[in-house]
């Protein structure tokens, strides 16, 4: 990856001037630039008159040290012979009345004024000032340094700017957690959501319940590869943080003005706790810490008072460690299966005159909330805590799209937006991802495009949107380098969504800053994704209205794209750059073939970036198709054309953009072949992954028509299964023009299955006619 970026950087002939405003991320609210410069050399001093300002000045010195520069003296008495960098705090130094605001004034040769409205604001000013200097290990990192005359007035758009890290599925060391916090501070985030417990591990020491870490902190083995493979590594896995380590992290974060919000999952995602103390579950066990991913039926028993005693004792120790106003209690993906057959839970429902198990969940959350409120704190939970009625003082994290957040805001509850289809950083950021991810595709541009305040809210309702955060779940993220790869550069994009004024956000301007951003990552040793420079591929209708074409592009304008038959590419002894065809216009594809596209430099040498695409051309390819109901916006693909683009999905959720997804709705598709043709086979390709709430169709039926009015059944449909891939095929020779295919959604997910009680997803990717 680093070799690739180096090549790209050279090709772009990047000239990255540290003082260029285009290099500051997130973009300041107000920026103006002059023509002269301030020179930093060994005669420069840092001027600070208060302990808080002096502390920030010392942080600036520490950064100079990382650049290999001599630290500058810190003075508190003015000296007319010294051109100072002044660090100050002025509560009346107002920018939009925001305590986190700051200003930076580079006043020619005389001085730099760095003023925060608070110590926090001054810390954020420091992050901007650092970006005005050359990056680490840059040849320019030696005195004198110059900073162009400029004026910055800046402050955040949202009060909540968060990032999440799951350490339950895969553990992160204390050193890496601190580094993660440094990354957040660099981009002015102020909240770290620490996901500490789940089915696969309990990661926080609770002194009253030592088995939580002794037993629940470890699992016997871990799933290998994608969900559903049923292959395991046979190795014990685990780890946990002592309370002293927790205090150390909380202090470290506070010094960087980041609040740590702990998450203790309840009532679901509790297997690690149940394995430690069997009496907490409805069946009383035995249980074991989960070895695979997904949602499990065994949850905390809501009918047993000892469950609440346990959770209150746990929360007492948690709240002693974490001073955050908000305590995250999970609340998501909690099946009601055990509660429906548990005598204690059913007695609880009767005694409290609850309607059903959904109201029992509301009872559970309300009871926990009252306890947390009694300690002067408030709860926050995933949007499922809306079920059965929202607790009075609860805040909501909206992850299943924006609907939960909209509902909560309309009820005047605070909301943090974190929709999976924009802000799940465990999703791939490349259409050509070669590592395992949980699924989904959230590109850099998609993250940047996110608007946290939904248009469905009035201006008054929109005030309840505190901000947003991205979530980094670690089922398939096993080490720090992979965490960094999933985090960068999307963290930069999200920082601008949350910090910069809405009217200041501009994708083209952000793109212009990316080379400098990538340069900083490289010189800081950060492992980041270069997916931004990928070959972008898209199958489109052919311009002549018959069939399909392969459209290719890249952000790298200094290279050529070439393509050729993949088999010939593999067999050829000639360097591929000398053999392929230079791409200029979309490539018409009129026969089944595998094509490879790759980049070449100005000398014709192939770069280490390529894409292979298989095409399966058939009678339906590129034909007109109509859907009775559109796919969900989260999995809309290219509309109905996705089903006739000659591309079969072979990588599951790693290529989720190749699917059409329907939440609770049926697929009803009508294909017009254009003329009456003789056909012998119709095939639908679908997908099932129950852990993601994606279920096979209840049935598939096919009808054909010569005139598009009178339809007759085609033939019985036979299903074939290959893991998660499902093939529905019907065989019968007939002459027809119109084909109507229906795939019936599974409907509401049944008890005992992942996502029970929710609408099932139906995923389809291709219809072939032969």
Tokens of 507: 């994708």
The percent helix, strand, coil of the chain (3-state, each to 5) is 30, 30, 40
pLDDT band, residue 15 (cuts 50/70/90):
very low
- In DSSP terms, which residues pair with 427 in a beta bridge? none
Report the pLDDT value the prediction gives residue 129, as an integer from 0 to 100. 97
Q: What is the third-level CATH fold of 160-499?
A: TIM Barrel (3.20.20)
CB-CB contact of 198 with 265 (8 Å) = yes
The CB-side HSE value for 178 (13 A sphere, CA atoms) comes to: 12
pLDDT for 681-696, tens place per residue? 999 999 998 888 999 9
Report the pLDDT value the prediction gives residue 140, as an integer from 0 to 100. 56
State the SS3 of 188-219.
CCCEEEEECEECCEECECCCCCCHHHHCCCEE
pLDDT for 620-653, tens place per residue? 999 999 999 999 988 999 999 999 999 999 888 7
Which CA distances in Å does 601 have to 531, 598, 753? 18, 10, 52
| pLDDT at 91 > cutoff 90 | no
**668 C-beta neighbours (distance < 10 Å), count:** 16
- Say how far apart CA 105 and CA 100 lie, in whole Å: 17
- Say how far apart CA 486 and CA 531 lie, in whole Å: 11
The CB-side HSE value for 672 (13 A sphere, CA atoms) comes to: 9
- The alpha carbon of 305 is separated from its chain's Cα centroid by a whole number of angstroms, namely 37
What one-character-per-residue DSSP string does 511-566 give?
A: HHHHHHHHHHHHHHT-----GGGSPEEEEEE-TTSSSEEEEEE-S-TTSEEEEEEH
Which CA distances in Å does 557 have to 11, 36, 716? 9, 33, 52
CATH class of 624-769: mainly beta
pLDDT band, residue 134 (cuts 50/70/90):
confident
Domain ranges of the chain: 2-154, 160-499, 535-615, 624-769
pLDDT for 725-765, tens place per residue? 999 999 999 999 999 999 999 999 988 788 888 899 999 99
Residues 721, 722, 723, 724, CA torsion sign:
negative
Axis-axis angle for helices 357-374, 305-321 (nearest 10) = 40
Please list the active-site residues.
Answer: 198, 269, 333
Report the pLDDT value the prediction gives residue 7, as an integer from 0 to 100. 47
Tokens of 634: 């989260």
**747 C-beta neighbours (distance < 10 Å), count:** 13
- Say how far apart CA 318 and CA 751 lie, in whole Å: 33
User: What is the pLDDT averaged over residues 164-186?
Assistant: 99
Among residues of the chain, what percentage have pLDDT more than 70? 95
Report the pLDDT value the prediction gives residue 685, as an integer from 0 to 100. 98
- Say how far apart CA 33 and CA 230 lie, in whole Å: 59
CB-CB contact of 428 with 446 (8 Å) = no
> Nearest CA to 165 among 448, 604, 480?
480
pLDDT band, residue 1 (cuts 50/70/90):
very low
User: What is the pLDDT averaged over residues 259-266?
Assistant: 99
Check residue 300 and report its DSSP letter: B
- Say how far apart CA 708 and CA 48 lie, in whole Å: 80
CB-CB contact of 186 with 24 (8 Å) = no
pLDDT band, residue 255 (cuts 50/70/90):
very high
What residue ranges in 223-304 does DSSP mark as E strands?
237-238, 259-266
pLDDT for 357-371, tens place per residue? 999 999 999 999 999
What b/e sequence results for 585-622 when a residue is b if at least 16 CB atoms lie within 10 Å of its CB, and e otherwise? ebbebeeeeebbbbbbbeeeebbebbbebebbbbbbbb
Axis-axis angle for helices 357-374, 343-351 (nearest 10) = 80
**174 C-beta neighbours (distance < 10 Å), count:** 14
**First CA to last CA distance, the chain:** 42
Residue partners of 96: CB distance under 8 A and separation at least 6: 29, 155
Instruction: Give the chain's length.
Output: 770
| pLDDT at 435 > cutoff 80 | no
Q: State the average pLDDT for the chain.
A: 92
Axis-axis angle for helices 2-12, 507-524 (nearest 10) = 130
Give the burial class of 18: count Cβ atoms within 10 A of its Cβ; 0-12 exposed, 13-18 middle, 19 or more buried. buried
pLDDT for 297-310, tens place per residue? 999 999 999 999 99
CB-CB contact of 114 with 85 (8 Å) = yes
| pLDDT at 529 > cutoff 50 | yes
State the SS3 of 132-157.
CCCCCCCCCCCCCEEEEEEEEEECCC
Angle of CA points 188, 191, 193, to nearest 5°:
140
Residue 716 backbone phi and psi in degrees, to 5: -60, 145
| pLDDT at 208 > cutoff 50 | yes
Q: Note the pTM of the prediction, 2 decimals.
A: 0.91
Superfamily of chain region 2-154 = Chitobiase/beta-hexosaminidase domain 2-like (3.30.379.10)
> Nearest CA to 365 among 417, 411, 318, 330?
330
Residues 363, 365, 366, 368, CA torsion sign:
positive
Report the pLDDT value the prediction gives residue 575, as an integer from 0 to 100. 63
pLDDT for 317-351, tens place per residue? 999 999 999 999 999 999 999 999 999 999 999 99
Report the pLDDT value the prediction gives residue 2, as an integer from 0 to 100. 45
- Say how far apart CA 714 and CA 712 lie, in whole Å: 6
CB-CB contact of 523 with 135 (8 Å) = yes
- The alpha carbon of 498 is separated from its chain's Cα centroid by a whole number of angstroms, namely 15
Question: CA Rg, the chain, in Å?
Answer: 29
The CB-side HSE value for 593 (13 A sphere, CA atoms) comes to: 17
């Amino acid at each position: 990856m680093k070799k690739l970026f180096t090549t790209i950087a050279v090709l772009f002939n990047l000239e990255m001037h540290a003082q260029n405003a285009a290099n500051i991320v997130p973009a300041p609210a107000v920026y103006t630039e002059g023509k002269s410069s301030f020179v930093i050399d060994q005669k420069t001093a840092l001027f600070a008159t208060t302990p808080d300002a002096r502390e920030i000045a010392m942080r600036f010195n520490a950064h100079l040290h990382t650049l290999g520069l001599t630290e500058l003296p810190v003075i508190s008495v003015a000296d007319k012979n010294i051109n100072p960098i002044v660090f100050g705090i002025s509560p009346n130094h107002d920018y939009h009345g925001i305590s986190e605001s700051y200003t930076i004034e580079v006043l020619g040769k005389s001085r730099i004024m760095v003023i925060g409205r608070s110590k926090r604001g001054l810390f954020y000013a420091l992050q901007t000032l650092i970006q005005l200097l050359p990056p680490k290990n840059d040849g320019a990192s030696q005195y004198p340094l110059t900073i162009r005359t400029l004026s910055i007035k800046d402050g955040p758009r949202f009060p909540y700017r968060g990032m999440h890290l799951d350490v339950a599925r895969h553990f992160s060391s204390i050193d890496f957690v601190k580094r993660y916090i440094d990354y957040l501070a660099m981009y002015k985030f102020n909240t770290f959501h620490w996901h500490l417990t789940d089915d696969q591990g309990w990661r926080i020491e609770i002194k009253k319940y030592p088995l939580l870490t002794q037993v629940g902190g470890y699992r016997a083995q871990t799933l290998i590869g994608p969900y559903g493979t049923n292959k395991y590594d046979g190795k014990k896995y685990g780890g946990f943080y002592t309370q002293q380590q927790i205090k150390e992290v909380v202090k470290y974060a506070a010094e960087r003005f980041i609040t740590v919000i702990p998450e203790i999952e309840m009532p679901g995602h509790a297997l690690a706790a149940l394995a430690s103390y069997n009496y907490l579950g409805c069946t009383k066990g035995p249980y074991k810490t989960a070895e695979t991913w997904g949602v499990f039926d065994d949850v905390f028993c809501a009918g047993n008072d000892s469950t609440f005693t346990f959770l209150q004792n746990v929360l007492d120790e948690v709240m002693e460690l974490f001073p955050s106003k908000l305590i995250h209690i999970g609340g998501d993906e909690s099946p009601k299966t055990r509660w429906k057959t548990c005598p204690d839970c059913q007695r609880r429902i009767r005694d409290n005159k609850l309607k059903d198990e959904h109201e029992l969940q509301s009872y559970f959350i309300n009871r926990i909330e009252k306890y947390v409120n009694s300690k002067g704190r408030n709860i926050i939970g995933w949007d499922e805590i809306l079920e059965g009625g929202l607790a009075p003082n609860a805040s909501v994290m909206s992850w299943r799209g924006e609907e939960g957040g909209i509902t909560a805001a309309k009820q005047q509850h605070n909301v943090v937006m974190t929709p999976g289809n924009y802000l799940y950083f465990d999703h791939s950021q490349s259409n050509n991802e070669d590592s395992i991810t949980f699924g989904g595709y959230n590109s850099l541009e998609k993250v940047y495009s996110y608007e946290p305040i939904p248009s469905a809210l009035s201006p008054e309702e929109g005030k309840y949107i505190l901000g947003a955060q991205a979530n980094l779940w670690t089922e398939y993220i096993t080490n720090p380098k992979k965490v960094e790869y999933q985090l960068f550069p999307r963290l930069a994009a999200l920082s601008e969504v949350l910090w910069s004024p809405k009217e200041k956000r501009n994708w083209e301007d952000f793109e212009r800053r990316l080379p400098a951003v990538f340069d900083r990552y490289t010189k800081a040793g950060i492992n980041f994704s270069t997916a931004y420079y990928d070959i972008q591929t898209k199958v489109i209708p052919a311009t002549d209205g018959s069939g399909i074409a392969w459209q290719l592009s890249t952000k790298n304008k200094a290279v050529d794209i070439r393509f050729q038959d993949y088999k010939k590419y593999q067999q050829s002894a000639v360097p591929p750059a000398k053999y392929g065809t230079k791409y200029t216009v979309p490539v018409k594809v009129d026969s089944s073939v595998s094509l490879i596209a790759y980049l070449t430099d100005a000398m014709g040498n192939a770069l280490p970036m390529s894409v292979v695409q298989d095409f399966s051309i058939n009678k339906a390819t590129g034909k007109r198709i109509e859907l009775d109901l559109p796919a969900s916006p989260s999995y809309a693909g290219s509309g109905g054309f996705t089903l006739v683009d000659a591309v079969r999905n072979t990588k599951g959720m790693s290529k989720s953009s190749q699917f059409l997804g329907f939440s609770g709705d049926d697929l009803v598709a009508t294909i017009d072949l254009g003329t009456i043709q003789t056909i012998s086979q119709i095939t639908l390709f679908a997908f099932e992954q129950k852990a993601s709430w994606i279920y096979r169709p209840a049935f598939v039926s096919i009808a054909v028509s010569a005139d598009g009015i009178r339809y007759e059944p085609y033939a019985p449909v036979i299903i074939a299964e290959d893991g998660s891939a499902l093939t529905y095929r019907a065989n019968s020779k007939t002459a027809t023009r119109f084909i109507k295919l229906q795939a019936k959604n599974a409907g509401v997910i049944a008890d005992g299955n992942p996502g029970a009680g929710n609408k099932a997803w139906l995923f389809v990717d291709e219809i072939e006619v032969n």
